[in-house]
Amino acid sequence: MNRKTIWVGVASLLFLAIVASGTVLLIRPANFRGTTFGEPYPVAPEIGLTRSDGSRFTLSEMQGRVVLLFFGYTSCPDVCPTTLAELKTALDGLGEGKADQVNVLFVTVDPERDTPEQVQEYVEHFSSTFIGLSGSLSELEKVWEEYGVFREIVEGESAAGYIVNHTARVTVIDQQGNMRISFGFDTPVEDIIHDLKLLLK
Residue 194 belongs to some domain of the structure: yes
Average pLDDT of the residues in 122-150 = 98
Residue 17 belongs to some domain of the structure: no
Give a three-class secondary structure readout of the chain: CCHHHHHHHHHHHHHHHHHHHCCHHHCCCCCCCCEECCCCCCECCCCEEECCCCCEEEHHHHCCCEEEEEEECCCCCCHHHHHHHHHHHHHHCCCCCCHHHEEEEEEECCCCCCCHHHHHHHHCCCCCCCEEEECCHHHHHHHHHHCCCCEEEECCCCCCCCEEEECCCEEEECCCCEEEEEECCCCCHHHHHHHHHHHCC
Residue 1 belongs to some domain of the structure: no
Residue 16 belongs to some domain of the structure: no
Average pLDDT of the residues in 62-72 = 98
Residue 74 belongs to some domain of the structure: yes
The pLDDT tens digits of the residues spanning 145-190 come to: 999 999 999 997 666 689 999 999 999 999 999 999 999 999 999 9
- Residue 46: name the closest of 56, 38, 37, 36 by CA: 56
CATH number at residue 148: 3.40.30.10
Residue 27 belongs to some domain of the structure: no
Contact in structure between 183 and 189 (CB atoms under 8 Å): no
Residue 62 has pLDDT above 60, yes or no: yes
- Residue 132: name the closest of 145, 123, 141 by CA: 123
Contact in structure between 108 and 114 (CB atoms under 8 Å): yes
Contact in structure between 143 and 49 (CB atoms under 8 Å): yes
- The C-alpha atoms of residue 171 and residue 187 are separated, in whole angstroms, by 12
pTM: 0.84
Pairing of strands 151-154, 102-108: unpaired
Q: Which residues contact 10 (CB under 8 A, 6 or more apart)?
A: none
More confident residue, 176 or 6: 176
Percent of the chain scoring above 90 in pLDDT:
80
Residue 179 belongs to some domain of the structure: yes
Average pLDDT of the residues in 33-62 = 97
Average pLDDT of the residues in 7-33 = 47
The mean pLDDT value of the chain amounts to 88
Average pLDDT of the residues in 1-24 = 40
- The C-alpha atoms of residue 176 and residue 2 are separated, in whole angstroms, by 53
Confidence of residue 5 (pLDDT cuts 50, 70, 90): very low
Q: How far is Cα of residue 84 from the mean position of the Cα atoms in its chain?
A: 12
For residue 188, the enclosing domain spans: 32-199
Residue 159 is predicted with a pLDDT of: 65
Residue 156 is predicted with a pLDDT of: 78
- Structurally, the chain folds into a number of domains equal to 1
The pLDDT tens digits of the residues spanning 93-110 come to: 998 789 999 999 999 999
Average pLDDT of the residues in 44-63 = 97
Residue 24 belongs to some domain of the structure: no
